Structures are given as structure tokens and as C-alpha cells.
Structure 1
């Protein structure tokens, strides 16, 4: 099955580049250009595969592992907002029919909102606060958050482990890092102001 094999290959390439950049520490110094190049190339290829396949590759078509690979490619296309936004409703509809794993679609919904500066629905994204502490960013209706999380297969928020501050993951200057992030969201088209 060519489609399945190609999706898995694209994700293996993503993981290999990520691992190499993590081993040198380059992965943690902003959005690495080499990683971005892989993400955009994979997303462009996925877009072509979706067109050839006449739809997003579902579990029934390619199996769960390859379907998840395709979903991860969408999630990693962070510097191509139009592509991610175009997939959101399609994938939400497929998740309702259990044709793609809902958990990854929840992550996509939140990731789009996170980059747009909006409140999350499922609380799947975290960011460094002004004190350099990694925290879940604002969510809609916090009182029913765990109910929404359970509906898509996510564990309760309280069970999540927050990454402790250390040299590898902790930004040396959280305010500067946040400003760079905001500039990046404007440059890529996630935000206009």
C-alpha cells in the first residue's frame, strides 16, 4: 500500500531530524529552519496525497499508525496556517465518525487557537510564562475541561506532568522568547496584531 508507506516514511524523516536537532540542543532555540523545512515539505506532500486520495487518509484506508502519521504532519505544519486551518473542519467531521483519532484532532483545534492567541478547548498546549514556568495556556470553560478531554481520549489535566525547569528546556529569557514567538505568529500569518 503506497500511501501508507509514504506517510510512515514522512513521519520517520520528521522524527530523525527532530532527534538529531535535539541531540545538539538546536531544537530548543526557537523554530529551527531545518525542522521547519521538513515540516513544510511533508505538509506539501500530504496536501498532494490528500488531493490524489480524494480525502484525508483515514484509519480504514491506511491503518491507525499511518493515519496518525498524517495527523502529526498536519500538527507540525505550524508555519503554514492556511493548511492547518483547512484541515480542521474536515478532521473534526472525520473524528466524529471515528475515521481518525479524536485525540489528534483535539490537539489540532487547540494548536490553531494557541497560535491565533485564543483560548484552547482541550488544554493540550503549554507555553513558558513570564517567570519561565511551563503552563497550560488559557482554556475555555475550565470547569468542564476534563469532561471535554475525556470525550477525546485525553487524561484529566491534573494528571499531566509539567516539565521542570532545566537548561535544555527552560528559556534563558522568557520575555524575549515570548516576544520572538509573537513576531513569528505575525510573520507566518497566525496573527495580524
Structure 2
């Protein structure tokens, strides 16, 4: 759903969150859609899952809410630390 239209993503996000609360869907998967939805609304993301390529051609985080607690939020839903996540996007 993360790559669905913004309207469809927004419409299905409550059901995705409920499925995660009920243990039917991993929160780590839902986080990608939560972040995409926030960015679609011109807000800062919560989990740091969304990147863009900067002018130097390197991946960079889209704006994140309260960056000092980012790894704490990521860990709470089973995501790796942001530094490890960003390393996956570095050129070999």
C-alpha cells in the first residue's frame, strides 16, 4: 500500500494499524506507510523509512519528527537503528 495513491493509502491506513495492533501485520511494515502518508501531507515522518536522493546522488532522510528519539521509535516497532538502515542504501 505504501506505493498506492495518496488517497488510497490514507483510506487503508486505519485498517493497517488495526491489523498491526491485532498482530496480523508487522508494525515495521505499517511504519513505511505511516511515513509515506505523513510526507504526502507535507508533515515530518516518524520512523525514518522514506529517503530521497540529494544533489550529490546520495540517499538522505526526508524530514523526521524529533530525530533525537528516532532510533527509540524504530526499535519499538522492530526496525533496525537508522544508521544501519541508511548503510543499506550506500553505493558499494
Is the TM-score greater than 0.5? yes
Distance 1:136 1:102 in 2: 20
Distance 1:81 1:158 in 2: 28
1:146 to 71, 74, 89: 71
Q: What CA RMSD, in Å, does the superposition of the two structures yield over aligned residues?
A: 1.7
Counterpart in 1 of 2:90? 163
1:75 aligns with 2:2: yes
1:86 aligns with 2:11: yes
1:109 aligns with 2:34: yes
Question: Deviation digits for residues 24-81 of structure 1, max 9, x if unmatched?
Answer: xxxxxxxxxxxxxxxxxxxxxxxxxxxxxxxxxxxxxxxxxxxxxxxxxx1221xx21
| Structure whose alpha-carbon radius of gyration is higher | 1
Task: Select the structure that is richer in helix.
Answer: 1
Stretches of 4+ aligned residues off by more than 6 angstroms: none
Q: Report the TM-score, using the length of structure 2 for normalisation.
A: 0.85
Where does the alignment leave 5 or more consecutive residues of structure 1 unmatched?
1-73, 166-193
Q: Report the TM-score, using the length of structure 1 for normalisation.
A: 0.43
Cα distance, 1:134 vs structure 2? 1.1
Distance 2:42 2:55 in 1: 16
